[in-house]
Chain A
């Protein structure tokens, strides 16, 4: 594998055509620079999806024979071959796109609630095979020879800090100054190690890893690297600090799945890389003006800056073409959202949840170790605005292709228990395991029924972070209880 670093640029292939990437580009960034924004298609109706910063399904592509590779995490190398999934017979000539013409209501319930052909009838077996093919989305990996599983790395410390932003770094420094050893694990780039030298206790840092699961009340945690060939990490600790930040979640309006709807962090990342030349509309819950000024400093044209609650619809065929605020239609190529901000509480939930009939946060005492949330992770969730009018085609859960209309259909049939609606629609059962889609589903239920949704989903690990081989590398490291 030749990385891009020798020649400043290198060539790669997308859907059978050659393109050029710049040094250090991720595949998603390289495609974006080449004007390719639609990278994937929704499961049921094959609507276009792309890089969003919010939903994983939009960036899963096939790379060099491996399915479901995150295009935003894989670096382009010379000769890389990538293609879109969920197509047939080929990405260039994709008959499955015709599903876009199917009325949404006919595929409510998806692949496990298909009433069309009943089991027991002679047509059922072929029908079920077809369903399984459609639902599978990705072709299986190319057959590979057996290979040894990478044994996991084990790290032990007094404190595990999750997240390497300012709040995480500060928590790690505080603990180490007090003489407590620290393991800090973060997504993305690791904080510079120099600042942790000469403290009363050591700080071990791992960047490019995501902590995805807590076990046994928080005494154990698992993290997985972006690179599937590297081993997972098992940590043992006596205290946990969650500095996992918060994210802006997409507006609940029709067209919110379209490529070009991105969150503030993704927009800044693309802007810094000099990859944006579209006109942007910026919406938010208070930080939109600040974000617009930052984008402006990168030379990005911002056509409008408005509260997210005034947005009524996003239009476009294969990508964003306009944002509508009531009757006010603004042409743009991007809708960038800065709010509502919600902290993903998956890890916290795993730490404190227990139960026999339903996992629930009885109280924070369920955790066996002290747990602290710091920085933005400690802020309460901002409310999700449910606009008036017809928003049935808005996506609550793009990964499982669940719209507001589908949730309303379930409500209309008399179901109001979110756990039941989850099982009827699949909302929240995709790669994100409920974030941010549970918040959007809960907002619709609360809006329509006038009640507060008090429960949360069982935010199940590992949320497609760890591979089979990496998990096999954990064998023997933890004794069964």
Chain B
């Protein structure tokens, strides 16, 4: 690339190499260096800073789901978000403005009541909203369309630009060496173990490699000669032109498979899913825009004449249960994955810390354990009824 400043030569070895400088890679790198005092952590990223899904997502941070496993991981991560600015010394602008799951169908309202029970058992603060609560919290929504709503006061959003800026700076301050526009082209294996990665014809040696390459994780697994469930695919999302605040909490409209929030920049950012087969491209298409717009029009008639500012796509790695794959690969000692993320922005600070702990100490935290890479082989998928993506 003509415009990038000439880079220092790559080192010949590192304590840990992290493939991918998205939120997962940066959060793990930060924790390895800051909490476990690893020197020589190297992060390699083929694209530009924020070019992956971590710079293209809906920025929603949800701390509870419908099952104990999902809720355990994401509650932990939401806690990390709440203290993150203080911990890393940079403002990630986490906004604890609450997150509301909205049911249109009566059967979904029932699902939300069941989820509330799970939350109560786990000691998580969540509230079933009354008609009046909805009017107060979501004045813009057409209440005639809503049959139930579950509110998570401790969840919220963080602008991904701010979060990624903070994590990048904090990791660099801890001595992590982070290189963008640097693509990993092959993996080095010795006696079945991982031994390093190749960047073109340059080998960087390391006995531990963490792959956090977002939508490219299945390709990385192929390159490393291991199998990983799931496939890469695009997700699309769009922003409306800025308005002064009309929608306060983050929202998941469960029955319409729609999520949205209004950013600190005033843009209403969100999307509703249109069922398509997997496509691995950053191009956008018409059905998602049309579907999202029709959900907005139905639920927020006030937005009818508001214009769509931009529409873009990002890549994720979708697993059969949409839950992440976290841990060391059973077929290749030393090769770790933070993969399969569909809520990987919300999960970033939590998973980064758990992953660093697992790599540093060799013990897997109970919160992380259900997400093991071989869970499908063991017949233990993690399906959750409250997912929207």
Contact = CB atoms under 8 A, between A and B. Distances in A.
B180 A128 contact: no
B290 A128 contact: no
A413 to B, nearest CB: 10
A126 to B, nearest CB: 11
B245 A463 contact: no
B37 interface: no
Interface stretch (B67-75, B125-133, B236-244, B371-379): B236-244
A475 B291 CA distance: 6
Interface of B is mostly: loop
A472 B294 contact: yes
Interface string A4-41: 00000000000000000000000000000000000000
B284 A215 contact: yes
Given A128-B95, A137-B266, A357-B46, A146 B298 contact: yes
Interface centre among A460, A464, A471, by most chain B C-beta atoms within 10 angstroms, is A471
Interface in B280-311: 280-287, 289-294, 296-298, 301-311
A3 interface: no
A71 B169 CA distance: 43
A273 interface: no
Contacts of A431: 241, 309
Given A356-B282, A467-B307, A132 B264 contact: yes
Contacts of B312: 458, 460
A475 B285 CA distance: 12
A125 B95 contact: yes
A91 interface: no
Contact of B286 (A222, A355, A416, A458): A222
B293 to A, nearest CB: 3
Contact of A460 (B83, B265, B307, B310): B310
Contacts of B279: 481
A100 interface: no
B303 A119 contact: no
B145 to A, nearest CB: 9
Contact of B282 (A139, A358, A462, A470): A358
Interface residues of A, number: 90
B229 interface: no
A479 B96 contact: no
Contacts of A429: 310
Nearest to A430: B309
Given A144-B301, A417-B48, A458-B282, A433 B310 contact: yes
Interface stretch (B199-207, B269-277, B349-357, B362-370): B269-277
Nearest to A355: B282
A129 interface: yes
A423 B266 CA distance: 16
Given A112-B264, A474-B286, A460 B311 contact: yes
Contact of B47 (A111, A129, A357, A433): A357
A47 interface: no
A68 B307 contact: yes
Given A112-B159, A417-B49, A472-B294, A467 B305 contact: yes
Contacts of B216: 356
Nearest to A459: B310
Interface string B230-263: 0000000000111111100000000000000011
Interface residues of B, number: 83
B138 interface: no
Given A112-B265, A113-B162, A147-B301, A462 B281 contact: no
Interface stretch (B1-9, B25-33, B328-336, B338-346): B1-9
Interface in A443-481: 445, 449, 451-455, 458, 460-481
A170 interface: no
A234 B215 CA distance: 31
B323 to A, nearest CB: 24
Contacts of B83: 120
A200 interface: no
B19 interface: no
Contacts of A452: 2-3
Contacts of A193: none
Given A112-B264, A469-B297, A481-B279, A68 B241 contact: yes
A114 interface: yes
B18 interface: no
Contacts of A94: none
Contacts of B241: 68, 138, 431, 464
A220 B286 contact: yes
A453 B93 contact: no
A475 B294 contact: yes
B265 A468 contact: no
A1 interface: no
B289 A67 contact: no
Nearest to B158: A119
Contacts of B326: none
B302 A143 contact: yes
Interface of B: 1-5, 46-52, 55, 82-86, 91-97, 140, 142, 158-159, 161-162, 165, 180-181, 215-216, 240-246, 262-266, 274-277, 279-287, 289-294, 296-298, 301-312, 315
27 contacts: A113-B162, A114-B162, A120-B82, A120-B83, A120-B84, A120-B85, A133-B244, A144-B301, A145-B301, A149-B297, A215-B285, A356-B282, A357-B52, A358-B282, A416-B5, A426-B265, A429-B310, A451-B2, A452-B3, A453-B3, A458-B312, A460-B284, A464-B241, A464-B309, A468-B240, A471-B290, A471-B293
Interface of A: 66-68, 110-115, 117-121, 124-125, 128-129, 131-133, 135-147, 149, 215-216, 220, 222, 228, 234, 353-359, 414, 416-420, 423-424, 426, 429, 431, 433, 445, 449, 451-455, 458, 460-481
Given A460-B310, A462-B289, 9 more contacts: A119-B85, A140-B246, A458-B282, A468-B296, A469-B297, A469-B305, A472-B290, A474-B293, A475-B293
